[in-house]
């Protein structure tokens, strides 16, 4: 008999609740909950695809203004190389609600197109947004040594995230609670 040393939960809303989701017509319908979750969780896993089509994940710290997200990041990272080939990312925020147990866990999935903001005014605005937003969402970007020269630093980059799909869900979806999904319809 095999001894269990860890429990792994495989989570896919399409499989766990029969693919039932509550589609919302407007981002405004989920905006408050989306903002609350992303401000509480702060850090998320972000996946890109390398030039050979293999996924690569890392933990990043986006900041959101409504439905638009921004990531302060290095311009010469692997991530930048991946996005030059395929400018899409998949983000996953996870909060294991320890107070209410696993059933209270909250998740946010964001599928988005990225775009580098190279205009100096945009770079300054997002630098200031990070710097002037209270922690834990905000922080002083100057703590990153490569960005010591401020938003004018050649290594400081800003990615704009334009989501086409956002899902608010949780482990409770396994018990039939419907995830809320917004899709950006062009």
Which pLDDT score, from 0 to 100, does residue 97 have?
Answer: 74
Give 35-75 pLDDT, tens digit per residue. 999 999 999 999 999 999 999 999 999 999 999 999 999 99
Where are the chain's structural domains?
18-183
Query: Tokens at residue 101, please?
Result: 């147990």
Topology (CATH level 3) of domain 18-183: Pnp Oxidase; Chain A (2.30.110)
Q: Is the pTM of this model over 0.75?
A: yes
Q: 182 exposed, middle or buried (CB, 10 Å; 0-12, 13-18, 19+)?
A: buried
Comparing 82-91, 92-101, 130-139, the range with the smallest average pLDDT is: 92-101
Cα-Cα-Cα-Cα dihedral sign, residues 43, 81, 117, 74: positive
Give 129-156 pLDDT, tens digit per residue. 999 999 999 999 999 999 999 999 999 9
Rounded CA separation 33/45 (Å): 19
Which pLDDT score, from 0 to 100, does residue 170 have?
Answer: 86
């Amino acid at each position: 008999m095999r001894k269990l040393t860890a429990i792994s939960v495989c989570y896919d809303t399409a499989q766990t609740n029969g693919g039932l989701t509550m589609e919302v017509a407007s981002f405004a319908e989920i905006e408050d909950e989306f903002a609350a979750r992303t401000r509480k969780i702060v850090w998320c896993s972000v996946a890109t695809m390398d030039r050979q089509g293999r996924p690569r994940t890392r933990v990043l710290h986006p900041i959101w203004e409504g439905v638009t997200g921004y990531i302060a990041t290095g311009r010469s990272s692997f991530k930048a190389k991946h996005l030059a080939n395929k400018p899409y990312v998949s983000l996953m925020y996870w909060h294991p609600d320890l107070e209410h147990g696993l059933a209270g866990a909250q998740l946010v999935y964001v599928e988005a197109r990225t775009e580098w903001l190279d205009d100096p005014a945009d770079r300054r605005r997002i630098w200031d947004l990070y710097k002037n937003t209270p922690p834990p969402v905000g922080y002083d970007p100057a703590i990153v040594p490569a960005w010591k020269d401020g938003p004018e630093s050649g290594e400081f980059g800003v990615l704009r995230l334009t989501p086409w799909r956002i899902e608010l869900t949780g482990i409770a979806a396994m018990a039939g609670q419907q995830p809320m999904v917004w899709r950006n319809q062009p």
